[in-house]
Copies of this chain bind each other. A is one copy, B any other.
């Protein structure tokens, strides 16, 4: 099986390494014919090229592995690869979540595989295990820690009692966070992964821009202190539930009991859980990012194709986003009197616990209150 790799950055470079140093006969069946790079000085040998047309027009290349990241040109390249009859493996959650309908429809029409294990949960075999459960029964819900950067920041804040800005800087120093960390700390990255997980678990498409999304940018030590006092820690979770007539998706910080399994997922690890009838809750924890773990996941998709186990893309239906369950929220806001009607317990002059309500209702109230720097978190029942 001859493949092309688009991009030779963190993930693309890892894939090249794993395949070039192949240890198993199965992996040795995969040959990298071309690597697309951005700048001509990266063209180290005849295998490297800056011209995507060379890949597109090569009939020997049956699989394109996209590791460029971002929306364009990744989207156009993936689309063209599918149009020209090549299977696609991608690590690009953002591009795939945004263009899911177009790309899955195209792959299905062409009877091609569009595989994306590497785009959610890094090395964790998340997509594969969901599909395995579904051979037997529906996955009814999922939740988890989908972003390693924010989890590193939260773990540091808890362990070392430091403020958000300090921990963000340390994450940036270690290369976990980018210069503009918005996608990691405001929940955008989690949101894309939640949409792809919902697509896999429920067969329903959701527009990422319509998902309720709350991050950790305005988290303060005061919030962590309250969590600790109450035997809890704070994690940024992505949550999906299959509901009658649609689905509910949420991205938000949650105050988890310290004894819960996800509370122990430290450092920059991810921890993802499924819920299904006979299996109950199944949890998968591992490296959620990084060159080799993410490359491992992409190579697993390639191995499925090499084994003839690639599946034609499914036919996802547009999903109706519903409000989700009523729950208790922790809220810290400069305008707490505005929330008097939904307050169950006043914690301080700024912090409160709400009555049971939906995240949508609370989000609407927050918009009306005008506070752009409020911090909210779900308070988990167990």
- Is the pair B280, A123 in contact by a Cβ cutoff of 8 Å? yes
Q: Which of A283-316 contact B (CB under 8 A)?
A: 283-287, 292-293, 295-296, 299-300, 303, 307, 309
How far does the Cβ of A84 sit from chain B's closest Cβ, in whole Å? 28
Interface segment out of the listed A56-64, A130-138, A363-371:
A130-138
A258 → B minimal CB distance (Å) = 9
CB-defined contacts of A134 to chain B, threshold 8 Å: 24
Q: Which of A128, A280, A309 has the most CB of B within 10 A?
A: A280
The answer to whether residues A135 and B292 also contact, given A129-B129, A261-B265 and a CB cut-off of 8 A, is no
Q: Let me know if A281 and B286 touch, CB within 8 A.
A: yes
User: Is A380 an interface position by the 8 A CB rule?
Assistant: no
Please judge, given known A-B contacts A285-B282, A295-B278, whether A27 and B136 are in contact too, CB under 8 Å.
yes
Interface of A is mostly: mixed
Known: A24-B136, A264-B264. A285 touches B285 (CB 8 A): yes
CB distance from A157 to the nearest CB of B (A): 15
Is A287 within 8 A of B295, CB to CB? no
Query: Any chain B CB within 8 A of the CB of A13?
Result: no
| A358 on interface, CB distance cutoff 8 Å | no
Alpha-carbon distance A23/B133, docked complex (angstroms): 12
Chain B contacts of A309 at CB under 8 A?
309
Scoring A residues 259 to 270 as 1 if CB is less than 8 Å from chain B, else 0, what string do you get? Answer: 111011110000
> Are B285 and A283 in contact, with the CB atoms below 8 A?
yes
By the criterion CB–CB under 8 Å, are B296 and A136 in contact? yes
Chain B minimum-CB-distance residue to A295: B278
Closest approach, in angstroms, between the C-beta of A132 and any C-beta of chain B?
Answer: 6
A18 at the interface (CB under 8 A from B): yes
A93-125: CB near B (< 8 Å → 1, else 0) gives: 000000000000000000000000000000111
**A135 proximity list for chain B (CB < 8 A):** 24, 26-27, 300, 303, 307
**How many Å from the CB of A127 to the closest CB on chain B?**
12
Find out whether the CB atom of A293 lies under 8 angstroms from the CB atom of B264.
no
- In the bound complex, how far is the Cα of B298 from the Cα of A106, in angstroms? 36
Interface size class of A (residues with CB under 8 A): 35 or more
Q: Give the complex CA separation of A18 and B133 in angstroms.
A: 13
Contact A280 B284 (CB under 8 A): no
CB pair A293–B265 under 8 Å, yes or no, is no
Let me know if A279 is at the binding interface, CB within 8 A.
yes
Contact partners of A281 in chain B: CB under 8 A: 286-287
| Most B Cβ at <10 Å: residue of A278, A292, A293, A300 | A278
Least Cβ distance of A263 to chain B in Å? 7
User: For residue A286, which residues in chain B have a CB less than 8 angstroms away from its CB?
Assistant: 279-283
State the Cβ distance, A272 to closest chain B Cβ, in Å: 11
Is there contact, CB below 8 Å, between B280 and A283?
no
- Is the pair B137, A23 in contact by a Cβ cutoff of 8 Å? yes
In chain B, what residue has the closest Cβ to A264? B264
Given contacts A26-B135, A259-B264, A280-B287, 16 further A-B contacts (CB under 8 A): A24-B136, A123-B280, A123-B282, A125-B132, A135-B303, A136-B299, A260-B264, A261-B265, A261-B285, A279-B292, A280-B292, A280-B293, A281-B286, A283-B284, A283-B286, A284-B285
Task: Write 29 A-B pairs (CB below 8 A) sorted by A numbering.
Answer: A18-B136, A24-B135, A26-B135, A27-B135, A27-B136, A123-B282, A125-B129, A125-B132, A125-B282, A128-B132, A129-B129, A132-B300, A135-B300, A136-B299, A136-B303, A259-B266, A261-B265, A264-B264, A277-B292, A278-B293, A278-B296, A279-B293, A279-B296, A280-B287, A280-B292, A280-B293, A282-B284, A284-B285, A309-B309
